[in-house]
Amino acid sequence: MPPLPACLDAPRAALRPALLGVALLNGAAGVVLVALAWCLADTLNALVFHDTGPTPLRLGTVAALLLARAALMAAAQGRAAALGFEAGRMVRRRLVEGLLARSTPVPPGSLALVGVEGIDAIEPFFARYLPATFHAVLLPVVVLVVVVPMDPLSALVLAGTAPLIPLFMLLIGHGTQTLNAAQWAEMTRASAYFLDVVRALPLVRAFAAVPAERQRLATAASAWCDGTVRVLRLAFLSALVLEFLATLGVALVAVFIGFRLLWGQIEFERGLFVLLLAPEFYLPLRSLGVHYHARLEAQAAAERLAALIEDENAPPSSAPESPTPESPASQAAPLRPEEPSAPRVEVAGVSFAYPGHAPVLEDCSFTLEPGTLTALVGASGAGKSTLLALLRGRLTPQAGTIRVDGVPPGAEAARPAWIPQEPHPFAGTLAEAVRLGAPDAPDEAVSRALDLAHATPFVAERPQGLDAPIGEGGAGLSGGELRRLALARAFLMDAPLVLLDEPSASLDHESETALIAALQGLRRGRTVLVAAHRLATIRAADRVLVLAGGRVAQEGLFETLRASDGPLRALLGAGAPLVGAALEETSR
């Protein structure tokens, strides 16, 4: 059996008591079953040999036992299922923790798939397979304990055939387990091939290759069918052996009892009782085989999950957790106090490298004066986003210091507002999206923030206004609108330091215009740093910092920098010939 991925160990250990509880319930149900079998055998014996019907007391006992057994079974089943969900919850939590601690970005889409559907595959492992393994040991033992004193010969038959089952399964099984897994892989592959072509359908259609691909699909599918059936023929063999041995065991017990009955060597009551128990002896072993695929599925899912959380052992991304959960503006202060409290930001000799990579920043120094708008410019990969992460305290520099009004970033007092290149479309209403950093802000404040972000027009367009829902994945909002919402969020948070990461892709014209206008409002009483991609932004800035070679290579006003032969000129020249022509025109 292939070993299970380590991420299942923790829930297994934590749920051991609960698993034992389920095992005990199952065991108790087994004991009641034995008692019921005895009652039935005894009653039949009385009816057949003594022609006496059961007493009311006997019937009452049977009724009580029946109810007890039903209750025990329901409890065991229900608790086993609950156990599965608990295990799912634990794995999911671990996954979330791992993903939150990751230093590299989460592959998009993988989360929804693995986080919800993947955990569905883990639950049956705990709810069915693991209890079945306990039961496969427990119930045969209970039955044996009862049968040994009743009829040693039958006990011998049972005890003799039982180990044969795992033994034979092991013999064939060594091949069969791998075949079982191979069959699993085969079936998955056949379906993957089909899904692959469906995924590429637009392309296949565009190339007018539909008939050819259909033919291919049919050929491949029937070839895979043949292969799979060949594998199944062997894979089902283990079930056949199991079934055969179980049947053989029951038949042997029946024959031995039958002849001893004929020769008068055993009472009918005992014989019947043992015969009733014999199938129950093999049943849990048989159902274990049925649940084996739950193990295979859990295995596959756990491996995929483990791949997502694997780098959790890496140093926790040098990211200090936000020290306090309360948000700065939850008191909903007026949007901008009269006296400007814009901070001064000092970056001195800062160096930073991601683990195992060349340094991004080396001895980088600059100062942002209070109340200024600074544009940060650089080729992609020059470290603009890293610098913003350092300034908001998400990363800590390996050397040098960063001070926001004398306080290290990340402290509650210095927490800046930050808008990423592509804001995440949070599910909920427009108002909720704006209130993300200030959950208790009143409606008027939200409206004012939307106004300042030039987002009011598209909010007013929706019939439900502020309560309009944002669909899953941001459906119904353009990239530019989403960005304006994020800007409104920054206005509402009212942080004195604002960090903006401008998108490199262009936005719709309306949004572009609105965002440039909003930027002017933002600089009032705040210190603003923009990782800029827009010429308009750069022109509007009080100062341009050009990031190259891990430090600020050039700084000053855009027109001045453009005129001189320096890194900014080289940057602008990296564009296409048409861009050069356009810039020439603009500068005229």
Partner 1 sequence: MSLFFDRMGFLAGLWREARWKASAGLVLAVITTLANIVLLAVSGWFITGMALAGAGGGAFNYFFPAALIRAAAIARAGGRYLERLVTHDATLRLIARLRPRLFAALAERPGRPASPDAALHGADLAGRLGGDLDAVQRLSLQGVLPVLVALIVVPIGITVCAHFLPQAALVLTAGMVVAGGLVPLVLARAGRRVGPPLVTARVALRVALVDLIGGQEELRACGALPRFQDRAREVEDRAVRLSKRAAWIESLGLAGLALLTQVTVWGMVLVAAGQVDGPILVLLAFLGLALFEPLGPLPEAFQRLGASFAALDRVRALAPASPDTKRRASPALPASPSASPSSSPSPSPSPSPARATAPAVRLDSVSVAGIEGGRPALREVSLELPPGGRLGVVGPSGAGKSTLVSLLAGTLAWDRGRVLVNERPVEGPHDPALHGLVALAPQAPLLLAGSVRRNLRLGAPEASDEALRAALETVVLSKWLAALPEGLDTPLGAAGRPVSGGEARRLSLARALLGAGPVLVLDEPGEGLDPALEARVLDQVLTAAGTAGRAVLLVTHRPHGLERMDKVACLDQGRVVDAGAPWDLARMPGPFRQFLEAAAL
> Binders of partner 1 among 275-314, rule CB under 8 A?
275, 279
Task: Confirm if 406 and 380 have CB atoms less than 8 A apart.
Answer: no
| Contact with partner 1 (CB under 8 A) among 169, 179, 436, 561 | 436
Q: Which residues, including other chains, have CB under 8 Å from residue 424's CB and lie 6 or more apart? A: none
Select 141 or 536, whichever has its Cβ closest to partner 1. 536
State yes or no: residue 505 binds partner 1 (CB under 8 A): yes
| Contact with partner 1 (CB under 8 A) among 141, 199, 398, 559 | 199
Least separation in angstroms between residue 350's CB and partner 1 is: 19
CA 177 vs CA 4, 121, 173, 183: distances in Å: 14, 19, 5, 10
Least separation in angstroms between residue 508's CB and partner 1 is: 5
Sheet holding 497-501, edge to edge: 417-419, 497-501, 527-531, 373-377, 543-548, 551-556
State yes or no: residue 64 binds partner 1 (CB under 8 A): no
Select 226 or 338, whichever has its Cβ closest to partner 1. 226
Gap between the Cα atoms of 273 and 342, Å rounded:
88
State yes or no: residue 233 binds partner 1 (CB under 8 A): yes
Q: Cite the beta strand spans of 232-284 per DSSP E.
A: none
State yes or no: residue 1 binds partner 1 (CB under 8 A): no
State yes or no: residue 439 binds partner 1 (CB under 8 A): yes
**Contact set for partner 1, span 324-353 (CB under 8 A):** 324-328
- CA-closest candidate to residue 324, choices 411, 198, 409: 411
**Contact set for partner 1, span 42-61 (CB under 8 A):** 43-44, 47-49, 51, 53-54
Least separation in angstroms between residue 528's CB and partner 1 is: 15
**Contact set for partner 1, span 126-145 (CB under 8 A):** 127
Least separation in angstroms between residue 584's CB and partner 1 is: 8
Q: Which residues, including other chains, have CB under 8 Å from residue 364's CB and lie 6 or more apart? A: 347, 349, 350, 351, 383, 387, 400, 547, 550, 551, 552
Tokens of residue 338, six digits: 């009269």
**Contact set for partner 1, span 454-483 (CB under 8 A):** 472, 475-476, 478-480
State yes or no: residue 583 binds partner 1 (CB under 8 A): yes
State yes or no: residue 225 binds partner 1 (CB under 8 A): yes
DSSP-derived 3-state class of residue 498: strand
Gap between the Cα atoms of 194 and 217, Å rounded:
7
Site string for partner 1, 241-260 (x = CB under 8 A): --xx--xx-xx--xx-xxx-
Gap between the Cα atoms of 520 and 109, Å rounded:
36
CA angle 162, 167, 173 (to 5 degrees): 125
| Contact with partner 1 (CB under 8 A) among 197, 441, 450, 553 | 197
Half-sphere exposure of 162 (CA within 13 A, CB side): 22
Please give the helix or strand (H or E) that residue 379 lies within, else none.
none
Least separation in angstroms between residue 79's CB and partner 1 is: 9
State yes or no: residue 222 binds partner 1 (CB under 8 A): yes
Least separation in angstroms between residue 317's CB and partner 1 is: 11
Q: How many residues bind partner 1 (CB under 8 A)?
A: 158
Site string for partner 1, 549-578 (x = CB under 8 A): ----------------------xx-xxxxx
Least separation in angstroms between residue 62's CB and partner 1 is: 6
User: Residue 358: phi, psi to the nearest 5?
Assistant: -65, 150
Select 78 or 363, whichever has its Cβ closest to partner 1. 78
- Cβ neighbours, 10 Å, residue 97: 12
**Contact set for partner 1, span 2-31 (CB under 8 A):** none
